[in-house]
Amino acid sequence: MDKRSLTETDIHAKFLTPAIVAAGCNIQTQVREEYTASAGRSSLVSLGWS
């Protein structure tokens, strides 16, 4: 399987979600996918950390 040909959704389904479940997380209650944080534009403020 060539990982470069996979979509972001494929990567989540085949690699990330199983790893999260194996770590003991409950996908239904502890994980959110495609969560909208705000109704409008967001901006990030740098605190000067590197």
3-state SS, one letter per residue, for the chain: CCHHHCCHHHHHHHHHHHHHHHCCCCHHHHCCCCCCCCCCCCCCCCCCCC
Helical (H) or strand (E) element with 30: helix 27-30
Q: What is the DSSP letter of 10?
A: H
pTM: 0.58
Q: Both tokens of residue 34?
A: 């495609």
With contact defined as beta carbons under 8 Å apart, do 27 and 20 qualify? yes
Whole-number pLDDT of residue 23: 94
Read off the pLDDT of residues 8-48 as tens digits, 9 standing for 90 and up. 889 989 999 999 999 999 988 988 877 777 777 777 776 76
Domain locations along the chain: 1-31
Local confidence band at 49 (pLDDT 50, 70, 90 cut-offs) = low
